[in-house]
Structure 1
């Protein structure tokens, strides 16, 4: 496990160090800076010729800066004659722009996939894409991991009574995710009927499925952005008499009014992973951060050894 290189951008250095510790492979030296006009400067300070290189860089906010930094790092590795470059994206920005839902709009997720591929990435390792079909936007192999095992293990460790749990899907699009968690954790499943009124606003009207009165509700989503959907769902669940509500997400984007909304949502816990680094003002007293470093590290190890990673989905 010493014949490949781990190189980290600036997007999530804490997670990169955890992955490095898990693998027992130090992060390679890299110089990243900016010219006075904002252009990104990059120099890899170690020899990567003929090596397997893994670039660790989620395209989290500020998305454009981190994406451009990733592209520059890929180009640096390819021009330094790296044998294979794998872009490790714990969080893939622009994933929500994955289709044309009205006229004269781009499919930006495909554009970003093209940029990463054309820059020279030979493979992509990512986690909890907003839509699984985004894998098909890349013209290189994509390994798509799920943080569900990490989140499930957390709630199982709490010893919650299965007959008192209700797994609630915050919208119709997350039903499959809710069923997957219910299969592992137990409990009934319910769905919140969500209606989107604009790009930023949603309304929640009804709960379909098992009753939530007096129950422990667990809600899972792939990301929390402005927290409008998850907090709207929490309100209607509270109104229906739920005993306590726990919210879990892979990617805590938390932009705009998200933190204020979560603060006022009366949630027992907010569980997220470290795929995106949180600033101190984004961490509430009930926030619990789980690391996905072992999951990503094990995937890197298995990819490098040409082994199956299907066991990581269990």
Structure 2
């Protein structure tokens, strides 16, 4: 709008801070924007968190990336409040909390008496902390946006277009049908359907996995729980047709994995050829990974909005694909901060800089941004290779989950195994060299030119 015409900010005007657990995602966002991210210097002593801001924030717009999900959500929330307090005391101009997953979002209404509306309480707490804006992804309930006052800017973006592009270009979809697993998921399923239909209409299928048979336009279906008369057990009633088609279950969260397992079973019984599952947020609590591993679902696509770990020998690695939420978040941050739009498409189906090629130990080798505001050239090179993988539409890990150690590539991908191996070798090599070096960060344009080279 007119504000962008009057004034465009520079990356040096912006401070990008990573809370505990969000370092990798913040590094990716910073790499796309050309902003060197800074990690909080935090330590726990006697059960309390002690932290120090990594750089000068006086009169600068500050974006704090915090992953509030999983078992440590309450501890991360307290740390976020301390970070915001420190920024206020340090005279930051404007503070935006970038929360890929909105904690307590499933508690957005009163289902019984004497219970809080926790999603509204989280909104009140964020405002009381001193947060000026909140950026999140794929809310569980749209009414959460109304819990914030006009003083606090609220924005919610979606990773569904990136997931749609991944399945469209990498999975040889045959007559795809998008399935809402419950009535409240229809809106999200419709958004995914629209993205898939747009890709189909535009003929955007230039992947090496594209198939001349995959020409049918996507359709929609829905599963509804139904209790037959005289029976205590609930059955899933299918509204729509899936026989002989690839069914794609679309939801915002995967927690226990039971919904995915039940829906995939019902869809296969109804004649579906294959079942895929897509969710923005992978919480994966308790036995969820085991449930998904033994279920009939072919592939589960999530993002890195919530940090989680998978044991090295776990069979779910063959089914799980983790896409990066960084392109979407980077575009939203650029818009809010009045930065030039990144050169990387926000629909880019990129993979995180963790998983198949970075384990926890080597991630630490890459080095966090120091308090002086420099980024390791090693991470710059990793980011460039990361972007190149997308531009060539190479799904590292082949036709299987992208967090597997030795993915077994199908016949469609085996002819390009050498090219994938070369990319993997480059990524491995970049972890070894220059680990202790530092230098000025590259802009998003420089990264894009490096990756295309």
Q: Tell me whether the two structures share a fold, i.e. TM-score over 0.5.
A: yes
Q: How does 1:120-159 map to 2 (within 5 A)?
A: 120-139=130-149, 140-158=152-170
Displacement after TM superposition at 1:261 (Å): 1.1
SS at match of 2:38: coil
Asked if residue 278 in structure 1 is aligned to residue 308 in structure 2, the reply is: yes
Question: Structure 1's 259 and 195: CA in aligned 2 closer, same or farther, altered over 3 A?
Answer: farther
Moved more, 60-69 or 176-185: 176-185
8 Å contact from structure 1 (residues 204, 233) kept in 2 = no
Q: Could you tell me how far apart the structure 1 residues matched to 2:260 and 2:69 are?
A: 20
Which of the numbers 92, 95, 106 marks the counterpart of 2:116? 106
**RCO (CA 8 Å, sep 6+): is it higher in 1 or 2?**
2
8 Å contact from structure 1 (residues 170, 194) kept in 2 = no
Q: How does 1:140-289 map to 2 (within 5 A)?
A: 140-158=152-170, 160=172, 164-186=175-197, 187-194=218-225, 203-210=234-241, 212-281=242-311, 284-289=317-322
Q: Could you tell me how far apart the structure 1 residues matched to 2:155 and 2:103 are?
A: 16
Moved more, 85-94 or 4-13: 4-13
Which sections of structure 1, spanning at least 5 residues, go unmatched? 197-201
Moved more, 233-242 or 178-187: 178-187
8 Å contact from structure 2 (residues 226, 237) kept in 1 = no
8 Å contact from structure 1 (residues 94, 109) kept in 2 = yes
Alignment-derived partner of residue 199 in structure 1: none
Question: Structure 1's 218 and 29: CA in aligned 2 closer, same or farther, altered over 3 A?
Answer: closer
Q: Could you tell me how far apart the structure 1 residues matched to 2:16 and 2:31 are?
A: 11
TM-score after normalising by structure 1: 0.91
Question: Structure 1's 46 and 156: CA in aligned 2 closer, same or farther, altered over 3 A?
Answer: same
Q: Could you tell me how far apart the structure 2 residues matched to 1:161 and 1:253 are?
A: 26
Q: Could you tell me how far apart the structure 1 residues matched to 2:41 and 2:296 are?
A: 44
Q: How does 1:27-38 map to 2 (within 5 A)?
A: 27-36=37-46, 38=47
Which of the numbers 49, 54, 61 marks the counterpart of 1:40? 49
8 Å contact from structure 1 (residues 204, 232) kept in 2 = no
Alignment-derived partner of residue 304 in structure 1: 337
- Number of equivalenced pairs: 305
Which sections of structure 2, spanning at least 5 residues, go unmatched? 1-10, 198-217, 228-232, 348-453
What whole-Å deviation, never above 9, does each CA across 1:11-56 have from its counterpart, x for those lacking one? Answer: 22211111111111111252111121x1111110311111100000
SS at match of 1:280: coil
Q: Could you tell me how far apart the structure 1 residues matched to 2:96 and 2:329 are?
A: 12
Displacement after TM superposition at 1:262 (Å): 0.5
Q: Could you tell me how far apart the structure 2 residues matched to 1:67 and 1:195 are?
A: 38
Q: Could you tell me how far apart the structure 2 residues matched to 1:49 and 1:89 are?
A: 23
Q: Could you tell me how far apart the structure 2 residues matched to 1:124 and 1:303 are?
A: 10
Write 1 or 2 for the structure with the bigger share of strand.
Answer: 1
Q: Could you tell me how far apart the structure 1 residues matched to 2:189 and 2:258 are?
A: 19
Q: What's the Cα RMSD here?
A: 2.3
